[in-house]
Amino acid sequence: MSIPGLGQIAPQAPTSTQRTINLRPFGEWRFSIPHQHSTFSSNSSAAGVTVRLVAGTAERDGTELTPHKDYTFLPGTKSKLFTDQGCTLEINNTGGYPLEDRVVEYPHPEQSPMVSYINLHFGLEDYERAAAAHHAQHPLPHQQQGRQGGGGPRPKPGPRVLVCGPHCVGKTSLVKYLGALATRMGSQPLVANLNPTDGLLSLPGTLSAAVFGTLMDVEEPAGGFGVSSTPISGPSQTVKNPLAFYFGREKAGEDVETWKQMTERLAVLCKRKLERNRDVRVAGFLVDTAPVDAGDKEGQELLAWGVRQFDVNYVVVIGSEKLKTELGQRFASEKTSFGEPVTVLGFDKSDGAVQIDKGWRQKSTETAIKEYFFGGIKARLSPFTQSASFDELVVFKAPDDPYEGAPVLERVEITPEMAHWTLAVMIASVTDSPQAIRFSSVLGFIVIADVDVERRRVKFLSPVSGRLGNHPLIWGRWPEPYLNLLA
Amino acid sequence: MTTDAAADVAEDYRQALEDLTVNSRIEIATLTNIARENAIHGLAIADVLTNHIKKVPPTRTLPALYVLDSIVKNAPTPYALYFGPKLYSIFMGAYTKVDTPTRRKMDEMLKTWKEPVAGALGNKPVFPPEVVKPIENALIAAKNVALQVNQSSFQGQQYMLRGARPPAPPHRDTPTPPQSPYHQPQAPPHQGISIERLRDDIQQLIVAERAEFARDPLDVGKQTRLKALLDLQTLIQRPDVPQEQLMLVKEKITELSVNMRSSVATAAAGVVPVAAPPHHYNPVPYTATPTPPVIPGAVVPPPPQVPGVGRPASAMAVPGPGAAPGAGGALSLDSLFGQGALAALLAGATRKSATPTPSQTSTPQPPIATPMIPPPAVPPVAAGIPVPAPSAAGSLAALNPALAAVLRSQTPTMAPTATASSITNNPSALLAMLRQSGLLSGAAGTSTTPVSVVPTPVAPAAAWTYTLKQYRGPHLINRLHEDLGPPCTQCGRRFGIDEEGRRKKTAHMDWHFRVHQRVTDAERRGQHRSWWVEQSDWANSSEAIDIDHSHRSDAATHPSGGHGGGVPGQDTLNYDDDVDDDDYDPEANFNSSYNNADSLYPGGGAAAGGGDHSGGGHGHASSGKATANRKGGKRGGGGLNYIPVPEDSAKVNNMCPICQEKFEMKWLDEAQEWVWMDATKVGGRVYHASCHKEVNGSGAVGGDGGGGSNGMMGMSMGMGMSGGGENGFGGGRKRKAEDDAYSGAKGRIKLEY
C-alpha cells in the first residue's frame, strides 16, 4: 500500500495491524478515522485503512464492496460497513492510523434499524415499479411532443422522498443508502440536497442535485456524496453530474428568502429533468435536508417548502417521533401536485449515527475543497494557478445581513480579505442582472490565493485553465476560507 | 334460540332502534323497557342492539350505546351476560368511529360500568371487571403509546425493544400486564369458535409475552413467540380463516395461556372470574351523563389488535400535538386519537367510509366490530392509489391489516413482499410460522419450516408503510444480492445472468478495461476537475444512458467541451482509435434502447468525433449538447478541428501545405493532450482545417448535422456565453465551420488563444 512520495504521512512507524473480523447478518463494523493534520500534498492521503471483504457481502451506505478487493478508507471518514448476510472482513491498518472501530451485532435482525431502512427501500421500489408500469401503460408522448403539447394526464412519477430529522441522526446516510440501493437495482434516482452546511457532489454552501446512476465511491470520506465524484477531465468510474446553486451561507435560516428561491429553482430543474428523463421519472427524488428539531417552527417551515417544491410524497423522519407527529399534522391535509397525499414515516435513528462536531466538519470541508482542486487517491488533478487583474474578475457578494429590500447581490471590489476564500463561478454573464446571477447554477469554484493590491492583480486557483471570461463570481460566507490549501 | 317469536321481537326492536336518532331519554327508557319485558328473547335483542351499534353512523352511536347502558343497568340479569363477552368489540368499535366529545361520554359511561348501579343494594359492578378491564387496558395502552411517542429519550429502551415489536407497541407500565383472566365462565352460547374470545386471549398472551420479553429482550425465543402471536392476531382478523385452523389456533392458545398465566404469576388472584352479576339490583333510572370525566389514562383505544398489526409508529400520521404526556383530558384525547381513532374519523370525514363495517368473520359468532376497516366499497380513488393517505388510509391500514387485504383485493398492484401480509393472506403460512417459533409443534415435525420461502405475495404499496420494522426474511435480502446476479469483480456492481444482463456485463467489463487503459494515460497527461454543466443542459441530459456500461465517464466528465471536442476520425491518427472506440461502441448499444432524441450526452461522446469521414471534419464548439440520434457506428456531434500532435513529428509535416504556416501547438483541456488546432489530416498530410476547407470547399459541415455520410444529427446548443472559458458555452445556434469558434467568444483558435 505504500505509494512513493508520502513523506509527510505518519511519522510514527507504520505498525501493521491486520486482523479479521466476522460479522453476523445485520452486523456492522463502525469505524472512524480522524482527519490527518497534514499540510497539503496532491498525493497525500494515499494511504488509509484498508479493508478487504473475504467472504459474504458487505456494503457501505448501500454500495456493495467487491469481494477480495482492497478498499482504502481515508482519514476523515466516519462510517460503517454493514452486512445483511454476514461477512468476513480483513482490516489492515498498516498506516497506523488512529482508527477507532467497533463491531455491533444484533441478536435479531429486527433490532437493527437497517431492517426498516431496507423495508423502506422495497416499499419505494414497489412504488417505483408501479410508476414504471403506469408509464408502460401510458407511454409518454414523444419528448418533443411532450414539450410542445403538454396535454393529457400527467404521468405519476416515482416516489419523491424527503429525509429529515434532528442533528446527526443519519439523514444523509439514509439518503445515500436509499440512493445506493436504488442504483443497485438499476434505477436512477435524483438526489438533491437542501442543506447548505454540507455539499452533495459539490462544496459546502451549495444546494445541489444529481442523478445517481453510477455506483457511489465507497472509499472517499463522504461515501459517494463528495465532490470527488464530480466530473474530471479523465476517466472516472463513479462520476455524477451535479447541478449546484451557490447559497453561500452555512444555514438556510441565515437567508431564508434566498434559500427558498434557490430551492424552488433547483426543484424546478429537477422536475424538468423528471419529466424529460424516463429513468429519473420512474426512480423519483431523494431529498436530503438540514437538521430540524421538533418544535422548530422555522425549520419545519423550510421543510414544508422543500416538500412542496419537490412534490414530495414521502417524508421520512428519523430519530424524532415528536417531529414526525408535528410534520404528520402539518402534511395531513396536503397533497402533491399529482394529487397524492404526503405520507410521513418515522424511523429510529441508528445508534451508530455519529456526532459531527465543528472541528470535524471544518476539516471535512477543507478536504472537500482540496479534493475539488487536487483530487484524491483515485485521480490526482492539476488545477491551474492563474493571475488576473482586478478588472478581469467581477465579484459579487450577497449582503451580509439580508434585510427587506436588500439587493440580492452587490458588486464588490477585490480586497485582500478575499484571500483563501472559495468563490463560486457562476454560469451567467457579468452583464446579467444580479437576480439572474444569484440564481444561476455554478460552473465551478476558484480559490483566491493572493491579492496584490498595489499591482491590482489577483492570483487564484482554478480547476480549469483558461480565462474565466465574463463569468461572474460570488463571494459567499460559506465555506469558510481554507488557509492551508496552498501552503 | 331463534324462534319465530324471537325473530319478530328482534325485528321490531331493530325498527325501534332505527328510529332512535337523538339522545332522547324517553325513547331510551322505552327501549329499555321493551328489552326488559322481552328478556326471554334477550339474546336476540342483544344481537340486534349489538349490530345496530356497529352499523349506525357515528352521530347515532351514542344513543344506541345509551340504550345498551340503560338496559344492562336496568335489566342486568340476562343482558349483562349477553353483552359482556361482546362488550369489548362493541365498545372499542364504537369508540373508534365516534368523535371526541362522544368519546368522552363513552369514557364516562365506561366508568359507571365499573361501579355498582347507583342506588343498588349490592355492590356488584354493572359489568364484571374482567369485561371492563380489557377495554381500560386498551385505552391505557393507547395512552402509553402516545407517551412513548413523545419520549424520544426512550431511545435506549426502544433500541432494546425495537426489533421484536414491530408495531412499536407501548411498553406497558401497568404493573401486572396479563392479569385479566380468561373469560371462561362466559363462554358464549354459540357453536364454533368465538373469534373475539380468541382475539382477547391472544391479546392477553401478547401482553404477557411482551412483559416477558421486556424482562429479557435478548431472548430470541421470546421474540419469535411474540412475533408469531402478533401475526396470529393479525390473521384472526381475517374473515376467511377456516374453522379448523381456528380450532387449532385456539387449542394452542388455550394451552399457552395456561402456561403463561402460571408462569407469569399475575395478580389474577384478585380478579376472580365472575360468572354473572348477581340478580336484582334495584333498577336505576338511566342517566345520560353517568360520571364526571376523570379519565386517568384511559383514552385511546387502539383496539388490542393494533399492536399486533405490525403498525410501526410511522403509521401514526396524524397524532395530535401529542406533546404533554399525561396532559389528560381533551388534549390527550386529541393527541392520542391520532393513533387511529382520529384517523378513522378523518377517514370518515374525508370520504364517506365511516359507515360501519360489514362483518369480518366467517364464524357464526356475530362479527367483531372492526369499524376501522372501511367497507370494501372504499372509493376506488383510495384503492387505486397505492399510497396510503397519511391520515386516513395509512392509519387505517396500519390499524388493521385486514384493510391491506381489502386494498389488495382491489389493487392488483404488483408489490412488496410483506410477510406480515402474506400471513394475513395465508393462514397456513402463519401456521408454519407458529410452528417454527415453537408455538405449534406441528405435524411437520421439524420446527424449521422456512417461512421466508413463502412466495412473496402481492401487496398494495400502502401496506409497506406499516410493516417497516418487520424483518421479512432473507429472501428479501437476497433481492439485494444474489437475485441481482454475480458482482463485477472490479466494482461490485451486479449483473443478471440473463441475456440482457450478460450483454450489459460485457459492455461493463469492456468499459472497465478501457477506463483502466486510459487512467494511466490520463494521469500522465494530467487531468483536472471539469466545469459543471449549465442548468438547462443538466435538466435535459440523460445520465440514464451512460451508467457504467455506457461511456458515462467520458461523457460526463466533459459536461461542456465534449471529450476531445471533435477527435478526428479514423483517417487521422491511429492514436485516436482507442478514444473513438471508447466513445462510440457502447453508445451504439444505447441508441437502441433510448430513442430519446432529447437525451444529452454531456459533451463527451456525442461531441467527440467530429465529421471524420469527410476529412474536413468541421465540427463546432459544442457545449456538449449534441442531440444525436446516431445509428450504431456513426459518429456524431461536432467538434473542433484539431489533431493530437503526432508522436513523431518528424514524419509529418508541421506546416500547413496550403498556407505555409506552422501548426499551432496547444494544450487542449478537452482532449487532455497537446494538439494542433485547426488541423486535419488528409491522406497522410496535415492541413489547417480551415485552409483545407477553403481549398476543397467540400468539407463536411459537422454542425449542420450532416457530416455527409455521417448520418448523424449534431446540434450545438451552447449557452451564448462569450468567453465562456474552455468549455465553450457557445451560443445556442448551429455553427458552421466558419465559426468553429472553440468557445463562444474565443474566436478562431488558430488566430488567438
CATH code of A430's domain:
2.40.30.330
Distance CA B171, CA B460 (A): 30
- The residues near A32 (Cβ < 8 Å, ≥ 6 apart) are A77, A78, A79, A99, A100, A101, A354
**A328-342, B452-466, B618-632 — most confident range:** A328-342
The predicted structure's pLDDT at residue B217: 58
Q: Residue A54 in contact with residue A65, Cβ under 8 Å? A: no
pLDDT of B209 over the 50 cut:
yes
The residue whose grid cell reads 485582500 is A416
The predicted structure's pLDDT at residue B7: 81
Distance CA A470, CA A450 (A): 20
Inter-chain contact A233–B557, Cβ cutoff 8 Å?
yes
Q: Which of A18-22, A266-270, B405-409, B580-584 has the lowest mean pLDDT?
A: B580-584
Is B675 an interface residue toward A (CB < 8 Å)?
A: no
**Tens digits of residue pLDDT in A464-474:** 988 888 899 99
A245 and A119 fall within a common domain = yes
Q: What part of B 398-427 touches A (C-beta under 8 Å)?
A: 413-417
**A314 by DSSP, 3-state: which?**
strand
Average pLDDT over residues B455-480: 70
ipTM of the complex: 0.91
The residue whose grid cell reads 434516482 is A189
Instruction: Point out the residue among A129, A230, A443 whose CB comes nearest to the CB of B414.
Output: A129
- The answer to whether position A445 is within a domain reads yes
- The answer to whether position A352 is within a domain reads no
A319 and A407 fall within a common domain = no
Q: State phi, psi for B299 to the nearest 5 degrees.
A: -115, -60
Average pLDDT over residues B397-403: 38
The predicted structure's pLDDT at residue B270: 38
Distances from the Cα of B521 to the Cαs of A162, A372, B72, B95, B503, in angstroms? 41, 21, 91, 74, 27
What domains can you pick out in chain B, each with its CATH number?
Answer: 1-127 (1.25.40.90), 487-525 (no CATH), 652-696 (no CATH)
- The answer to whether position A485 is within a domain reads no
Q: Which residue has the higher pLDDT, A64 or B154?
A: A64
Residue A327: pLDDT band with limits 50, 70, 90: very high
Distance CA B587, CA B24 (A): 79
pLDDT of B231 over the 50 cut:
yes
Distance CA B145, CA A390 (A): 65
A246 and A283 fall within a common domain = yes
Which residues of A line the annotated binding site for ATP?
A: 28, 78, 168-173
- The answer to whether position A355 is within a domain reads no
CATH for A38: 2.60.120.1030
- The answer to whether position A329 is within a domain reads yes
**B392 by DSSP, 3-state: which?**
coil
Q: Which residue has the higher pLDDT, B360 or B146?
A: B146
Give the number of other Cβ atoms within 10 Å of residue B446's Cβ: 8
Phi-psi region of B473 (alpha: psi -120 to 50; beta: other; left: phi over 0): left
Residues of B in Cβ contact (< 8 Å) with A328: 316-319, 338, 390-391
Closest Cα in chain B, distance from residue A83 (Å): 10
Q: Which residue has the higher pLDDT, B239 or A84?
A: A84
The predicted structure's pLDDT at residue A272: 93
The predicted structure's pLDDT at residue A476: 92
Inter-chain contact A237–B515, Cβ cutoff 8 Å?
yes
Q: Which residue has the higher pLDDT, A237 or A71?
A: A71
- Spell out the alpha helix ranges (H) of B19-99: 25-37, 42-55, 61-74, 76-97
The predicted structure's pLDDT at residue B276: 38
A204 and A242 fall within a common domain = yes
Q: Which of B517, B525, B608 is nearest to B560 (CA)?
A: B608
Q: Which residue has the higher pLDDT, A57 or B445?
A: A57
Distance CA B250, CA B440 (A): 11
Read off the amino acid at residue A30: R
Average pLDDT, chain B: 56
pTM score, whole prediction = 0.54
DSSP assignments along A151-199, one per residue:
-SPPPP-S-EEEEE-STTSSHHHHHHHHHHHHHHTT---EEEE--TTS-
Distance CA A381, CA A228 (A): 10
Longest CA span, chain A: 69
Domain count, chain A: 3
Distance CA A445, CA A230 (A): 13
Q: Which of B354, B532, B285 is nearest to A427 (CA)?
A: B532
Strands A395-397 vs A473-475: parallel, antiparallel or unpaired: parallel
The residue whose grid cell reads 419529466 is A275
Distance CA A218, CA A229 (A): 11
pLDDT of B536 over the 70 cut:
yes
A260 and A394 fall within a common domain = no
A225 and A299 fall within a common domain = yes
Inter-chain contact A381–B529, Cβ cutoff 8 Å?
yes
**B49-53, B312-316, B457-461, B548-552 — most confident range:** B49-53
Average pLDDT over residues A70-76: 91
Distances from the Cα of A346 to the Cαs of A171, B178, B390, in angstroms? 12, 29, 12
**Tens digits of residue pLDDT in A432-458:** 999 999 999 999 999 999 999 999 999
**Tens digits of residue pLDDT in B594-603:** 333 333 333 3
**Tens digits of residue pLDDT in A378-392:** 888 989 998 899 988
Best to test chain B binding among A3, A65, A71, A119 (most B CBs inside 10 Å): A119
**B463 by DSSP, 3-state: which?**
helix
- The answer to whether position A35 is within a domain reads yes
The predicted structure's pLDDT at residue A326: 94
A18 pairs with which residues across the strands?
A92
All cell numbers assigned to A253: 435560516
Average pLDDT over residues B106-124: 76
pLDDT of A351 over the 70 cut:
yes
HEC per residue, B240-255: CCCHHHHHHHHHHHHH
Distance CA B568, CA A267 (A): 39
Tell me how many residue pairs between chain A and chain B have CB atoms under 8 A apart. Answer: 392
Which residues of A line the annotated binding site?
A: 28, 78, 168-173
A171 and A118 fall within a common domain = yes
Q: Which residue has the higher pLDDT, A405 or A289?
A: A289
Longest CA span, chain B: 126
Read off the amino acid at residue B180: S
A240 and A300 fall within a common domain = yes
Distance CA A57, CA A407 (A): 54
Q: Residue B687 in contact with residue B591, Cβ under 8 Å? A: no
Distance CA A346, CA B152 (A): 12
Residue B221: pLDDT band with limits 50, 70, 90: low
**Tens digits of residue pLDDT in A282-319:** 999 999 999 999 999 999 999 999 999 999 999 999 99
Residues of B in Cβ contact (< 8 Å) with A180: none
Of the three residues A318, A347, A376, the one that is the final residue of a domain is: A347
Of the three residues A291, A323, A347, the one that is the final residue of a domain is: A347
% of residues, chain B, pLDDT over 90: 2
**Tens digits of residue pLDDT in A214-236:** 889 999 999 999 999 999 888 88
CA B119 to chain centre: 55
B722 pairs with which residues across the strands?
none
Residue A65: pLDDT band with limits 50, 70, 90: very high
A104 pairs with which residues across the strands?
A28
**Tens digits of residue pLDDT in A122-181:** 999 988 888 888 777 766 544 444 344 444 456 789 999 999 999 999 999 999 999 999
Residue B213: pLDDT band with limits 50, 70, 90: low
Average pLDDT over residues B660-675: 69
- The answer to whether position A483 is within a domain reads no
The predicted structure's pLDDT at residue A436: 94
The predicted structure's pLDDT at residue B250: 66
The predicted structure's pLDDT at residue B640: 60
Question: If you count them, how many residues does chain A have?
Answer: 487
Kind and range of the H or E element at B538? helix B535-540
**A354-368, B573-587, B622-636 — most confident range:** A354-368
- The answer to whether position A297 is within a domain reads yes
The residue whose grid cell reads 366508568 is B111
- Domain with A131, as residue range(s), is 112-140+154-347
A241 and A223 fall within a common domain = yes
Q: Tell the burial category of B242 from Cβ atoms under 10 Å away from its Cβ (0-12, 13-18, 19+).
A: exposed
Average pLDDT over residues A188-197: 95
Q: Which of A79-83, B422-426, B691-695 has the lowest mean pLDDT?
A: B422-426
pLDDT of A276 over the 50 cut:
yes
**A72 by DSSP, 3-state: which?**
strand
Q: Which residue has the higher pLDDT, B266 or B196?
A: B196
DSSP assignments along B132-192, one per residue:
HHHHHHHHHHHHHHHHHHH-GGGHHHHHHHHTT-TT-PPPP-SSSTT-S---GGG--S-SS
The predicted structure's pLDDT at residue B590: 31
Residues of B in Cβ contact (< 8 Å) with A351: 155, 159
Q: State phi, psi for B622 to the nearest 5 degrees.
A: -115, 135
Average pLDDT, chain A: 87
Residue of B nearest to A371 (CA): B529
Instruction: Point out the residue among B317, B530, B598 whose CB comes nearest to the CB of A143.
Output: B598
DSSP assignments along B252-321, one per residue:
HHHHHHHHHHHHHT-GGGGS-----PPS-PPP----SS-S----SS------THHHHTT--GGG-----S
The predicted structure's pLDDT at residue B220: 62
pLDDT of B495 over the 70 cut:
yes
Inter-chain contact A231–B541, Cβ cutoff 8 Å?
no
All cell numbers assigned to B368: 367483531
Distance CA B330, CA B328 (A): 6
Is B493 an interface residue toward A (CB < 8 Å)?
A: yes
The predicted structure's pLDDT at residue B353: 36
A329 and A184 fall within a common domain = yes
pLDDT of B620 over the 60 cut:
no
Read off the amino acid at residue B637: G
The predicted structure's pLDDT at residue A33: 92
Residue B456: pLDDT band with limits 50, 70, 90: very low
Question: If you count them, how many residues does chain B have?
Answer: 753
Residues of B in Cβ contact (< 8 Å) with A350: none
The predicted structure's pLDDT at residue A80: 94
Distance CA B600, CA B558 (A): 12
Strands B673-677 vs B665-668: parallel, antiparallel or unpaired: antiparallel
Average pLDDT over residues B302-324: 38
All cell numbers assigned to B41: 328473547
The predicted structure's pLDDT at residue A433: 93
Is B546 an interface residue toward A (CB < 8 Å)?
A: yes
Residues of B in Cβ contact (< 8 Å) with A294: 152
Q: Residue A77 in contact with residue A48, Cβ under 8 Å? A: yes
Average pLDDT over residues B210-237: 66
Residue B532: pLDDT band with limits 50, 70, 90: very high
Distance CA B264, CA B200 (A): 17
A296 and A316 fall within a common domain = yes
Closest Cα in chain A, distance from residue B596 (Å): 7
The predicted structure's pLDDT at residue B148: 63
A281 and A169 fall within a common domain = yes
CATH for A127: 3.40.50.300
CA B362 to chain centre: 30
% of residues, chain A, pLDDT over 70: 91
Q: Which residue has the higher pLDDT, B140 or A158?
A: A158
CA angle B7, B8, B13 (to 5 degrees): 100
Distance CA B291, CA B715 (A): 82
Distance CA B178, CA A439 (A): 63
Q: Which of A43-57, A69-83, B312-326 has the lowest mean pLDDT?
A: B312-326
Q: Which of B221, B371, B211 is nearest to B305 (CA)?
A: B371
Closest Cα in chain B, distance from residue A165 (Å): 12
The predicted structure's pLDDT at residue B578: 31
pLDDT of A16 over the 50 cut:
yes
